[in-house]
Structure 1
Amino acid sequence: KVGCEFDRIVVCGGDGMFHEAVNGWFRSRSMAPLAYIPSGTVNDFANTHNIPKNDVETAAKIASDGMIDLIDAGLFNDTYFSYVAAFGFATSTAYDTPQTKKRKLGTLAYVLHALEIVDFTHWENNCVSTQIEYEGGMIEGNFLYGQISSSRYVGGMDAFTKGRYDLKDGLLEGVFIRQPMNLSELNSIIASIAKSDIENNPLIVPVQSPWFEFDGESIAWTLDGEYGGEVPHAKIQVVEQQLKVVLPKEEE
């Protein structure tokens, strides 16, 4: 049981590094909480939990003297994730974008790399066909993008989660974007995302559920910004208030 003899386990790196630490932590059954000093490009986990990403000294102080808390995590088949599982349009840019671009351009590097690999002339080439079951319902069809998260920020933005996320409610937030059939539909999707108005667009399906199950064609997944494998079947479920982390102390 690696780490069990320590009071705290401190991780320094990006979201991908923290993802690896979370999986090691769950499998070791360590009782020591995970602390995080962010030094990656996007740092969604740190942004969600107000851990400063440009102030190593303050982040280190939080790691050593912060508040210990239990928050929700996710389980993708047999792999844990700290905040998001995603598929579809441009999700591979999180792990395909060269490190040199990330260091020079930050979040913009992901956008530029996405534009380089997407086939804008045939949207169907960027979509996957799947059936999605969740508590109380089911949807199916061709989807441009999908994410299941327990986080405020995903990819540096909160357009899909604003006003919906709760890190301790035992629910995951799902958002699924259907394949646009023409430029007008694509523009309506972009406009809804820009305005954080995903509830009123029939092409965007927001769902909250403790579990999701996917069946259909083989889908390549991204877990916390890392390649999560390509599988035809995936079961994703919440791991309710079992991830022990060190967070900034609440202001009195």
Structure 2
Amino acid sequence: MARFSEVLLICNGKAGQGTLETLLKDAVPPLLDICNELIIHKTKEKGDAERVCRESGSRYELVVIMGGDGTIHEAINGLSVLSDRPLVAILPGGTCNDFARSLRIPMNIGQAVRLITEQPYEQEIDIVKAGERYFSNFWGTGLVAQTSDNIDVGSKSVLGKLSYYISAFQSIQDSPILNVKVTTENKVVEEEVVMLLVANGRSIGSNPLPTCINMDDGLMDIYVVKKSGFPLLKEFLVIKSTGNISEEYDDIMHIQAKEAHIELGQDEKLDMDGELYEGSRQSLRVLHKHLRFVVGASE
């Protein structure tokens, strides 16, 4: 059994009261058994998780993030700037929990806690710096950002990950064409696209991305999608569970790179781990094995 001196547990204060109480009831007693002191921080507003991680993350041996992809995105941005970075563990408590899935974390909270409290398996994971921000799972523009933008908050709480599919089908009807230039250390691509996706993790909208994606190889996987249609939707959002992008899809270009500079024809919505930003230029750089995570066993 692992043993820690001080542990910080960050939980999403916006979670439903009954849901949060249930998650804490399942998580806190086992965590207390493995540490001398457990500090619980319930987030109060947007940016709170990032601030707490940035200001005090270095003093803890272990930081546990209990919440969905939004809470994790905030915490990653707070932890990534630290020179002395703690071990990080995730207890999934959101809708899609994509980064937790990428790390092979069980969706059952009890099983996820046992990964931490028993003999935890640690893995150093790449983080990608995007301008002055950081992402752990993906960066995207075009269809993927439009899908996130179209998801209704009310339907998300009721329908869960099904809302992602509904939004995707709605978005694909009128996907705009984007003028994109992607410059990497060994390739320059200029295309008219419906979607540009930069993947570090292996799941979007609870659905697996190609298994060729490695989260600790020092490379980001860039997918340049040149045209839309139902095959594209199936490939990325519905049935893609194994292997690389199929050869039959000539409209999807796959590039691996350590660094990439992206130029868009105009300001567009930019999606980082499900959080929306806006801009026309973005410089991306892989920070190789930047954070240590508790992960599930290899398949």
**Shorter-chain TM-score tier:** 0.7 to 0.9
Alpha-carbon displacement from aligned partner over 1:92-151 (angstroms, at most 9, x marks no partner): 4336523432232121111213444x373x55xx22111111232111121101111112
Aligned sequence identity (%):
23
The 1:192/1:113 distance shift into structure 2, 3 A limit, reads: closer
Equivalent in the alignment of 1:73 = 127
- AA aligned opposite 1:137: K
Equivalent in the alignment of 2:111 = 58
- AA aligned opposite 1:158: P
Tell me the secondary structure at the aligned position of residue 202 of structure 1: coil
Equivalent in the alignment of 1:183 = none
CA distance in 2, matches of 1:57, 1:172: 32
Pick from 89, 103, 107: which aligns with 2:157? Answer: 103
- AA aligned opposite 2:61: D
Taking structure 2 as the reference length, the TM-score comes to 0.72
Q: Does 1:9 align with 2:59?
A: no
Tell me the secondary structure at the aligned position of residue 115 of structure 2: helix
Q: Does 1:29 align with 2:83?
A: yes
Tell me the secondary structure at the aligned position of residue 237 of structure 1: strand
Taking structure 1 as the reference length, the TM-score comes to 0.84
Unaligned runs of 5+ in 1: 181-185
Greater Cα offset, 24-33 or 242-251: 242-251
CA distance in 2, matches of 1:249, 1:87: 32
- AA aligned opposite 1:57: G
The 1:95/1:2 distance shift into structure 2, 3 A limit, reads: farther
CA distance in 1, matches of 2:222, 2:298: 28
Equivalent in the alignment of 2:269 = 220
Q: How many residues align?
A: 238
CA distance in 2, matches of 1:63, 1:92: 36
Tell me the secondary structure at the aligned position of residue 208 of structure 2: coil
Matches within 5 A, 1:41-56: 41-53=95-107, 55-56=108-109
- TM-superposed CA distance for 1:84, in Å, is 0.6
Pick from 247, 250, 259: which aligns with 1:202? Answer: 250
Aligned-residue RMSD, C-alpha = 2.3
Greater Cα offset, 196-205 or 236-245: 196-205
Equivalent in the alignment of 1:149 = 199
